[in-house]
Homo-oligomer: A and B are copies of this chain.
């Protein structure tokens, strides 16, 4: 079990762009990255568009104020001058800024961890992938649910044939917090999400569905989407053309089919990310509000509930166990696991340890690009009248 002992020689010198006091997203990054103080150490930041506020914030986090910067460009430039300058930066800014900041970070010789959705276009993703390869750097994407141990149980069960042939993948990521339009007017964190300039070509598809889509890919890496159909709506008219609700139908290359429901107008619903994989013999179902349980239904047998931390789980699952079966894990344990893998990947990259890089399963640049591709194809289908499109 993980207990905080170091997995890399020394913690990586880390900074953030964005993630300041006005939202809680940065706190998830810091809680994940700094969980054990053996993977990352936070040394610098350009946390806020309001420099004074950002500086005070950094100070309150215990940073040296001289390493709180007004913007990412200054930070990259100044840190590059230091012997003990940062090695890796997390980007937790509105979607529309990811591309330029990631590019700048790589050009500044930094490893990068970026919020999802990575960029607006797959071509941007391919360009950045090429740049990262040239620079010998890692780009990680924070699909924050992808570190839950039971997600890796699901992956191992599929791989080991416990479900038989995969027939259906049911995906859902919905909530109801945007059922009325008032939040669009009052919340800074919401305003940019419904503006195409800052949010890109989608709202809930990018903001929500990319999470579950990545999980499905992680769990069933052996099947590929062949065709997709997406119908999207803007129930709050002012959000148009960005959708607050979307339905997708999916056809996979092995004959399996799937569905997605992404919504921020599922009134009254708290977060309800659900993933059900149906095979010819059995199904598994996971929901992020109870990440300590996995439902396993074998046709003709009693319904099973698998509990996180138990010895009967596959090694791939228990490899990231932290607290033991008696104790409840939450979202931050997932983030901690992801950030630990980012650290291991960065360390391996630094040491040209290709073996580790080949076997380590984490949300990398390809996962980021695949998420962009998913949104692109959804939008293409929706904008063509919600018709079937080849997934390219």
Contacts and interface: CB of A to CB of B under 8 A. Distances in A.
A333 interface: yes
Contact of A331 (B31, B57, B301, B329): B329
B283 A267 contact: yes
Interface stretch (A218-226, A227-235, A343-351, A370-378): A227-235
B24 A4 contact: no
A1 B6 CA distance: 30
A281 B255 CA distance: 39
Contacts of A30: 4, 36
Contacts of A61: 4-6, 36-38
Contact of A312 (B5, B231, B249, B301): B301
Interface in A279-327: 279-283, 288-292, 296-307, 310-312, 322-327
B3 A26 contact: yes
**Most B CB within 10 A of own CB, among A265, A268, A307:** A268
A198 interface: no
Contact of A386 (B24, B164, B331, B388): B388
Interface residues of A, number: 95
A340 interface: no
A147 to B, nearest CB: 13
In the assembly, how many copies of this chain are there?
A: 4
A142 to B, nearest CB: 13
Interface stretch (A81-89, A92-100, A111-119, A172-180): A172-180
A205 interface: no
A74 interface: no
A163 B281 CA distance: 28
Interface of A: prevailing SS: loop
A174 B364 CA distance: 36
A307 to B, nearest CB: 5
Interface string A53-85: 000010011100000000000000000000000
A280 B233 contact: no
20 contacts: A4-B60, A4-B61, A6-B61, A27-B322, A36-B61, A37-B37, A167-B267, A175-B326, A176-B299, A177-B326, A179-B280, A233-B257, A265-B280, A268-B303, A270-B307, A300-B310, A303-B305, A328-B330, A332-B332, A332-B333
A297 B306 CA distance: 11
